[in-house]
Structure 1
Amino acid sequence: MTFQKERSAGFLANHMARLFANGLQQRIRPLGLAPAQFMTLLALWDEDGLTQRELVQRLNVEQATMANTLIRMERDGLIERRLHPEDGRSQSIHLTAKAVGLREPATQAARSQNEVALTGFSEDERLVFLDLMRRAIASMQAG
C-alpha cells in the first residue's frame, strides 16, 4: 500500500501548521514581532513575571530556544528581567509597556489568521474541528 499524504493526519497537520505560521508571521511582522516572540508574549500576557523555566514548560520549547528568544525580546524592548522575589538564583520575565501595547494588535493579527484558516466552515464545523484538534493534541501528549 502506498503512502497517501492527503490521508495522513501528520502530513496534513504539519502542512496546515506551516501555512498558518507563515500567515501569522506576515501579519505580525509589521508589529516587529517574530512567531516565537508572539508565542512568548501570549504566555506573559496571561501571567506576567514567569521564569524562563516556566516559559519553557508552558510553551514546550527547548531551553536554548527560549533563552535566544528572550535575548531578542529584551533587545527589542519587549521584556525586562528582574530577580525572582522568592528565588534569588532565578529571574522573572516582565513585560514592558511596549509589549503591553502590542497585545491588542498582535492578538487581532492572530484572530485574522484564524479567520482565514476557518473560512468556509460553519460555526458548528469550527467548534467540531477545534474540539477534534484538542483531542488529537491530548492523545499525543498522553502517549
Structure 2
Amino acid sequence: MDEKVLRTPGHLVSLAARAFARLSEERLGPLGFGVGHLPVLVALGNGVANTQRDLARFARVEQPPMAQMLARMERDGLITRTRDPRDGRSSRIDLTPAVRERLPQASATLLQGNRDAMEGFSDEDERRLVELLDRLIVNLDRLSGAVVAAAASETDET
C-alpha cells in the first residue's frame, strides 16, 4: 500500500475514531454500556427520539441493525418497549430507571476521555478541530447522498 494513503484525512480520521471507540469501550464497560449504545442512549436520554425508526435515523443506521441493537439492549435491561397507543404497529422505547441513573456518570466519563485525548491541544486547536470535522461530516453526508441519488436514478433508467 502506498505510504501516502496512510497519511490521508480519511485514514487518519478512521484511526482516531477506532482509538476513541477503544477508549470509550474501556471506560464505559464498567457502567454496562458499549460505544454502539451511545446514539440510542443520547437520543432517548435527551428525548430526541423514542421509536425504532427515529432512533435509526438519529444514529444514521438502517432499521435492521437498529432492531438488533434494541433487542440486545432490551435483553440486557437497558431499555423498555411499550405499545404506542396511537399506532399499534409501533413501540415507544424508553431507558430503564437504572440506566437513567447511570447516564450522568457515562457522560462525565466520555467528556473526561475527550479531555484526556486532547491533552496538549489548546482550546483554539480543539475548537478548530471540531469545526473542521463538522465540515468534513457535512461533505461526506452530501457525497454519500449524491451516491445514493445517482444509484436510484440509474435504477429508474433501466
Which structure is higher in helix share? 2
Deviation at 1:105, TM superposition (A): 1.0
Alignment of 1:7 with 2:7, yes or no, is yes
SS at match of 1:124: helix
Which amino acid in the other structure matches residue 52 of structure 2?
A: Q
Equivalent pairs: percent with the same residue?
A: 35
**1:74 alignment counterpart:** 74
**2:128 alignment counterpart:** 128
Which amino acid in the other structure matches residue 58 of structure 1?
A: F
**1:16 alignment counterpart:** 16
Which structure ranks higher in relative contact order (CA pairs < 8 Å, sequence separation ≥ 6)? 1
Alignment of 1:140 with 2:121, yes or no, is no
Provide, for residues 76-132 of structure 1, a one-character-per-residue CA deviation record: whole Å limited to 9, x for no partner.
211110112332211110111011111111111111111122111101111111011
Quick check: 1:48–1:94 contact (8 Å CA) kept in 2? Answer: no
Provide, for residues 44-94 of structure 1, a one-character-per-residue CA deviation record: whole Å limited to 9, x for no partner.
111166110110011011322211211121112111101123322111101
Quick check: 2:49–2:58 contact (8 Å CA) kept in 1? Answer: no
Runs of 4+ in structure 1 off by over 2 angstroms are none
Which amino acid in the other structure matches residue 22 of structure 2?
A: N
Flag the 1:101–1:65 CA change in 2: closer, same or farther, 3 A: same
Alignment of 1:105 with 2:97, yes or no, is no
Deviation at 1:39, TM superposition (A): 2.6
Deviation at 1:36, TM superposition (A): 1.3
The runs of 5 or more residues in structure 1 that have no matched partner are none
| Structure number with bigger Rg | 2
How many pairs align? 142
Find the aligned partners of 2:135 and 2:28 in 1 and give their Cα distance: 28
Find the aligned partners of 2:102 and 2:65 in 1 and give their Cα distance: 22
Alignment of 1:38 with 2:38, yes or no, is yes
**1:89 alignment counterpart:** 89
SS at match of 1:121: coil
Question: So what's the TM-score if we normalise by structure 1?
Answer: 0.92
Find the aligned partners of 1:68 and 1:37 in 2 and give their Cα distance: 12
